[in-house]
Structure 1
Amino acid sequence: MSSDAPVPVPRTAVPLGITDPVEKARAELKAALAAIEVKGNIPRRLSVRIDESVDMAQKFSKRNPVLAAAAVVVAAAGIGAGVWAFVRSYSR
């Protein structure tokens, strides 16, 4: 079952079938620059990772609301204890 519909090419790939060397070099350069942008754009990658983590946390809190609330309390207590320890050691 094959179809003649074109397969989408990712931004970081070079399309097959380019015979002109100049066009092939341009396509390779474009793909290399796109790959560098994808790898080097740390804020964008971090934003995607944070969004995924927020989605996972929301799903977890809908499945287990009691455990989610307990996790929030434990995290808040841990942060509070850390701040208290820092301020105490700094003030002495």
Structure 2
Amino acid sequence: MSLSSSSPVPVPRTAVPLGITDPVEKARAELKATLAAIEVKGNLPRRVANSTERNVAKARAFSRQSPAAAAAAVVVGAAAIGLLVWGAVRAYTR
């Protein structure tokens, strides 16, 4: 494949395509790109879901590579949460 191919390069949703000469069309393209960027940045539930999916995939890969270390991490995490809850209840009841 050569670098000088005539196929168009895909433009991301948050970018304005080059070569627009009409000012109205350019303003529309800029507005469309701006709204897409706001949606990407402002859609917190989607960002959290994507981040969660990435972290779950990493955790599954880690547990496949070293199951003993993954089990130890689960035990340590459970103990830490237990100590945190115990400390909070103890502080609350005093």
Output the TM-score relative to the length of structure 1: 0.96
**Mapping for residues 1-80 of structure 1, pairs under 5 Å:** 1=2, 2-80=4-82
Query: Displacement, 1:75?
Result: 0.3
Q: Which runs of 5+ in 1 are unaligned?
A: none
Q: Which runs of 5+ in 2 are unaligned?
A: none
Query: Structure 1 residue 90 and structure 2 residue 77: aligned?
Result: no
Count of matched residue positions in the alignment of Structure 1 and Structure 2: 92
User: Which amino acid in 2 is paired with 1:7?
Assistant: V
| Percent identity (aligned) | 67
Q: Deviations over 1:40-77 (max 9, x none)?
A: 11111111111111000000000000000000000001
- The runs of at least 4 consecutive aligned structure 1 residues that moved more than 4 Å come to none
Query: Displacement, 1:31?
Result: 0.3
